Structure 1
Amino acid sequence: MYRGFKIEPFKFTSSEKHVEYEKIGRSIYNGIAKKAETNLEQFVLGTNGILNGSAIQNHWFPVIKNKFDVFISHSHDDESLAFALAGWLRKDFHLNAFLDKYVWDSADGLIRKLDELSQPGKRIFDYKMRNMSTSQVHAMLTTAIFQTIDNCECLFFLKTDKSVPVKDVMTLSPWIYLEIGLSAVIDKHRSKNRMAVYSKANENADFSSMGMELDDSHLQILKSADLNKWNSDCLKNKDRDSLSILYDMFPLPQKKAIYG
């Protein structure tokens, strides 16, 4: 990852544009979405019943290198807007967006399958074993999120009243909290391959309502006018890649010189 931006507020200039770009974003999903293997028994190692967790992680939450440029962090309630943004990035900026929904399967679904495999025939699962399966799956997903953000050159955070609903500083989503936190500490580097990412981080999980104060101060603010100017500048400079134009619009602050 090289740069991070928070988009607030954002909407397309017309509902027709939103619909047009959302169709593009969803068509990308229809083209690459996959269905995970439903039978976990293929991941059992030998006869001791131990599952190959690495193989399961690679199957459910694969990390595809050198394919995506922009990681889009957002609330699942903003799915329509996120799909539209992904479509806009593809059509006008020539950036391919990753959405977790494009590539990753449901974390909740995997937890359920692990519980059914370890506790066959039960309608109510053992609390301790259920906590273990949840921890295992969330560890897999966290690792995939970290690696995916690191493989992307840029992060866009859709900051709305849905992703940060409490006093504009607290999120109820542990996945958004994780994504923005990771974006602050991951080593900054440019990518050799240009493409884009959308992530709602399997936010379909029904977490309890616990607000986490979100520090997004490291993210440069992008408003609708900034995005429209970026689009205009890209159309005028078709020989340059879109992200370089964006970085020129919002250069990194100069580090202060330290004198002895």
Structure 2
Amino acid sequence: MYRGFKITKETIEKILEDKEYYRRGYKRDAEEIKKKIKNKLEKYLTSNSKIDVEKLREEWFPTGEYDIFLSHSHGDIEDIEALAGYLVNEKGLKVFVDSFIWGYYHELLEDLNRTYNWNKNTQTYDHSGAKWCCSNVTMILNSALQEVIDKSEVLFFYNTLNSITHDYNSKNRTESPWIFSEIETSRIIRKNMPRRVEAMCEAVREEFSDDYEKKVAEFSYWLNNNHLIKIDQDQFNEWTGNVENNDYLKFCDMVNIPHGGLENLIKAGEELDKLYEIVGEEK
């Protein structure tokens, strides 16, 4: 990961005016990906009937290199789908929405519990076995998310009342262990400068060598997001330009073709560089 930013609902207000257009585009592409993921548990069993975690993770929680990782609360999923649709179709960026794989998490747990922990006689699940499966699947998912964050160039954190639930002892707090893990990961992992940025820095150094009601257990995680730079509405609008000009998106809807067809004509790196230039360097 190279840079991290905080955005709010106000920041992406212009995009949300065309929310349904962008959501449709993103969800259509996402469903195509989901169709490729099979869910037959027996294919992950090794010769001694143990679960091959490597194979399971590769298929259920695939990781790759992305331009932007979107960290958010599931309560904001519609906004995030719209933002992802915009970034993919208008900016040509490869975007990872973290909650996209949460559905697999629950499906996989159900498969494991039905296979290993269902007692036909009592018609109940074995509690200790279900806890063991949950612990393992959670670890697999979390490690996959950490790898995606590390490989992504940018992290956008959608800072809303759904993600930052309260303030305690002058610290932001979240009730989501996933958000806590993602933001902590973005804070402590290595800073990996893209090669194109390194090349620009080298060129600058050469030219300017001296210029540089039911009781539920609720958890409260501190959320140290001071390392993320806030992008305000003016900066975001300057980067996105005229977001109302979505003729290409409407054309895709009319002819029913997948969005992102212009992806090869747009250089994602150049778009991210524009963002860095507008926001400026870290303080």
Q: Do the aligned partners of 1:2 and 1:153 also contact (CA within 8 Å) in 2?
A: yes
The corresponding residue for 1:223 is 232
The corresponding residue for 2:181 is 178
Give the 3-state SS of the residue equivalent to 1:243 in structure 2.
helix
Residue identity matched to 2:124: I
The corresponding residue for 1:62 is 62
Residue 158 (1) aligns with residue 158 (2): yes
Gaps of 5+ in 2: 197-215, 246-265
Give identity over the alignment, percent: 29
* RMSD (Å) for aligned C-alpha atoms: 2.7
How far did 1:162 drift? Answer: 0.9
The corresponding residue for 1:25 is 26
Mapped partners of 2:102, 2:194: distance in 1? 22
When residues 192 and 23 of structure 1 are mapped into structure 2, their CA distance, relative to the original with a 3 A threshold, is farther
When residues 20 and 130 of structure 1 are mapped into structure 2, their CA distance, relative to the original with a 3 A threshold, is same
Q: Which runs of structure 2 are paired with 1:103-114 in the superposition (5 Å)?
A: 105-114=103-112
TM-score (norm. length: structure 1): 0.80
Mapped partners of 1:83, 1:14: distance in 2? 11
When residues 28 and 192 of structure 1 are mapped into structure 2, their CA distance, relative to the original with a 3 A threshold, is farther
Mapped partners of 1:233, 1:16: distance in 2? 12
Q: Which runs of structure 2 are paired with 1:48-197 in the superposition (5 Å)?
A: 48-65=48-65, 68-100=66-98, 102=100, 105-122=103-120, 123-167=123-167, 169-191=172-194
Residue identity matched to 2:77: E
Mapped partners of 2:67, 2:80: distance in 1? 15
User: 1:5-26 deviations in whole A, cap 9, x for unaligned?
Assistant: 0102434237542222222222
Q: Do the aligned partners of 1:62 and 1:104 also contact (CA within 8 Å) in 2?
A: no
Length, aligned pairs only: 236
Q: Do the aligned partners of 2:118 and 2:125 also contact (CA within 8 Å) in 1?
A: no
Mapped partners of 1:106, 1:147: distance in 2? 17
Q: Which has the higher helix share?
A: 2
TM-score (norm. length: structure 2): 0.74
Q: Do the aligned partners of 2:119 and 2:125 also contact (CA within 8 Å) in 1?
A: no
Larger radius of gyration: 2
